[in-house]
Amino acid sequence: MSSNSNRVLSLYKSRNNILEILETLGYTISDYSGFSINEIDAMFVNQQLDMLLTHKSKQTKTYVKYFLTSKQIRPQNLDEIIEDLFVIDNVLTKEDTLVIITEEEPNDTLVSKLKYLFDHDGVFVVVHNIQRLQFNILNHKFVPTTTILTHDEVNKLKVKHNIKELSQLPEISRFDPVALAIAIRPGQVCKILRSSATALDYEYYRICV
């Protein structure tokens, strides 16, 4: 298989898996599903891989941006993308999520930038290495079912377990592979349901940091 064929197959798998993940999270994917590998190839050539999806119930949006023009996305590139989507074109608001698919894992400089954007500007960006999207991590047999709690569910959890501050909960990093997949934001709480061969399923909770 040629390097170009490998690239197209990688794009095809990444697109299908990110769509499958977003569908699991409650997004409508019908506008973007069902495309052939040849169609994905043409989209790549014409720089038309980006997708804008809307959540079925919350009406929030996720914009999926492919950034494959260089191996590493720089903070300046990120600023330009955010300005286009959040300021100039008003495609996204701070309630929405920007997902960027890149060639490599974000370096320390980019991780610091992602933290700064959320802490100071309220802009939430998830960066996926395209290699991580060659499979759907949420379908892996060793990955427990993980869901983000609503505000009501968090309040009930606090009452049930007599939790005064969410900081009392164990932590999960927003850069954890599963956290990246479900796009959990710092301050949100997730429920993790783990199956056991010797006992009943049991659940535990993590606060995202």
Alpha carbons 192 and 207: distance in angstroms, whole number: 11
Strand (E) or helix (H) holding 194: strand 189-194
Domains and CATH numbers, the chain: 3-136 (3.40.1340.10), 140-208 (3.90.940.20)
Enumerate the β-bridge partners of residue 99. 64, 126
pLDDT at 2: 55
pLDDT of the chain along its 209 residues, tens only?
Answer: 455 889 999 999 999 999 999 999 999 999 999 999 999 999 999 999 999 999 999 999 999 999 998 888 999 999 999 999 999 999 999 999 999 999 999 999 999 999 999 999 999 999 999 999 999 999 998 899 999 999 999 999 999 999 999 999 999 999 999 999 999 999 999 999 987 777 678 899 999 99
pLDDT at 199: 66
For residue 111, the SS3 value is: helix
Enumerate the β-bridge partners of residue 202. 194
Contacts for 164-170: CB closer than 8 Å, 24+ residues apart = 166/207, 167/207, 169/205, 169/206, 169/207, 170/204, 170/205, 170/206, 170/207
